[in-house]
Amino acid sequence: MNSSTPISPSWNRTRVSVIAGFVCVIFAVAIYWFGLVLECEYPFWPTLWLAKQAKTGDGSRVTDLIRIRSDSSYLPQYWHHCTWCDVVYPHAPHMAIQVTGDVSKQNVYLFDWDLWHRRLLPISVRTAQMFPELIPPGYVVKPLGVGNNPQLYHSDDEPCLIVPASASMTAPP
C-alpha cells in the first residue's frame, strides 16, 4: 500500500495557473519580438498614442494643427513609426514618426518624437515651416541639405536640426 500523501486539488490548480501564466508571458514576448523584427506597427502603438497627445507650447494639440493645416482636413490622420525615415533622416536622435493627412501621401509630415520630454520636433524643413509652433523658444531650424540621400518624399523635405539660436550663428553652414 502506498503511504504517500495525495496532492491536494488546490495545489494542482495553482501549479497549472503558474505554468499557464508563464506560457502566456513567453507567447507575448515572442509576438512582440516578431513585430519588432518584421517592423510591424503594433509594438509602437503605446508610443504613437502618446505622440498623438503632444501639445505645443501654448497648449494646442498637434493633431488639431495637422488637421487644420492639411489640405484634406476631413480625412483621418495616419501616425506611424517610420523605419524608412530612420534611414533617410538619421540625424533624428529619438523616434521618427510620419503623419499622413490623406490617402495620396501628399500631406506627409515628419517628426522626431522625444518620449522623455513628450514633444514632437520637425525633422524636415517643410514640416518645420508648416508647424513653427513646435520649435521651442530660443531655437532655430538649421537645414542640413539633401547631400547624398535624395530619397525624400518631396523635394522640399530637406532634413533639418532644431538647434539653439546661439549655436546656429557660430556653427559653419
Q: Which helix (H) or strand (E) holds 80?
A: strand 78-81
Averaged pLDDT of the chain: 77
Q: For 19-60, what is each residue's pLDDT tens digit? A: 899 999 998 888 878 777 776 676 677 788 888 888 888 888
* pLDDT for the residue 42: 65
* pLDDT for the residue 8: 65
Sequence-separated (6 or more) residues with CB below 8 Å from residue 115? 47, 50, 94, 95
How far apart are alpha carbons 107 and 60 in whole angstroms? 20
Q: Which residue has the higher pLDDT, 39 or 132?
A: 132
* pLDDT for the residue 26: 92
Question: Residue 168 pLDDT > 60, yes or no?
Answer: no
How far apart are alpha carbons 14 and 6 in whole angstroms? 15
Q: How confident is the model at residue 156 (pLDDT cuts 50, 70, 90)?
A: low
* pLDDT for the residue 136: 87
| Its pTM surpasses 0.85 | no
Residue percentage of the chain with pLDDT more than 90:
4
Average pLDDT, integer, range 86-112:
76
How far apart are alpha carbons 12 and 57 in whole angstroms? 57
Question: Residue 126 pLDDT > 70, yes or no?
Answer: yes
What are the boundaries of each domain within the chain?
A: 11-40, 42-170
